[in-house]
Amino acid sequence: APTEPSAKQQALIKELSAKEGAQFDNRYLEAQIQEHQQSVQLFQTQAKQAESASVRNYAKNGLPKLQRHLDMLKQAQQGKKSG
């Protein structure tokens, strides 16, 4: 398991630390949406293609929760744009 943030994560932390208020909120939501989209894609792939049945089942069972989180993040982003 990693003991520190990746270079990509460190760059995002640096970027976010320079922002405030709505700029921070918007960039944070954008980053969370991107990460959740990648996670959904990974879980979809593993649910279909993983060699291990337990991994396939884990991915199948986790996918709805990840999708709900992604939907909530998108709703929050839309709320900020229309609000």
**Model confidence pLDDT, tens digit, residues 41-58:** 999 999 999 999 999 999
- Per-residue model confidence as pLDDT tens digits over 4-39: 999 999 999 999 999 999 999 999 999 999 999 999
The span from the CA of 30 to the CA of 20, in Å, is 15
What single-letter DSSP state applies at residue 44? H
Burial of 77 (0-12, 13-18, 19+ CB in 10 A): middle
Which pLDDT score is estimated for 53?
A: 97
Q: Are 47 and 56 in contact (CB under 8 A)?
A: yes
Residue 83 pLDDT: 65
Model pTM?
A: 0.87
Q: How many residues does the chain have?
A: 83
